[in-house]
Amino acid sequence: MFERVILKALNGASKGHEFVLSNEMDYVLGRATDCSCVLDDPYRLVSRRHCRIEVRAPFVRVQDLGSRNGTQVNGANIGRTTGPLTFEDLTVVAYEAHLLEDGDILQIAGYEFEVECDPSTRCAEAESRDPEKLWACECASCC
């Protein structure tokens, strides 16, 4: 189980920057100023609303939002148009969500991010009671 997800920028203008994504939240990544995670892209390779990340422990999912330059996970394309789409096509195209795991490389139009699932901290009650680290507590941070 994890408490949050960290996207570490590996290249581009944001290299070294970390986007911290809390559990039970959805995030939109793109270059529009109203996105949850704004990507500074002077070349406009990143779409205004490029992809969505859904954080619901124990799962993290990424979904391309019909971006022009695509979204990849570990080099595999998870959403990119294969040819010109009509306006009608754009209104019905829905890309599948793809699971992200700790250590995956998320690529957004050439920008790379390492995915880190930050483990939740266990409560002091369970730690003092459980020297073998079996975490038998019933509180929210241990379950």
- Structure token digits, residue 80: 């990119």
What pLDDT shows up at residue 83? 60
Reading the chain (143 residues) residue by residue, the pLDDT tens digits are: 788 999 999 998 789 999 999 999 999 999 999 999 999 888 899 999 999 999 999 999 999 998 889 999 999 998 765 566 565 555 555 678 999 999 999 999 889 999 999 886 655 555 555 455 555 555 555 55
- Structure token digits, residue 108: 């957004």
Put residue 110 in one of left, alpha, beta given phi > 0 → left and psi -120 to 50 → alpha: left
Pairing of strands 98-100, 2-9: unpaired
What pLDDT shows up at residue 93? 54
Locus of tokens 């330059």? 69
- CA dihedral defined by 111, 59, 20, 140, rounded to 10 degrees? -170
Pairing of strands 111-119, 2-9: antiparallel
Residue 12's nearest CA partner among 104, 110, 106 is 110
pTM for this one?
A: 0.76
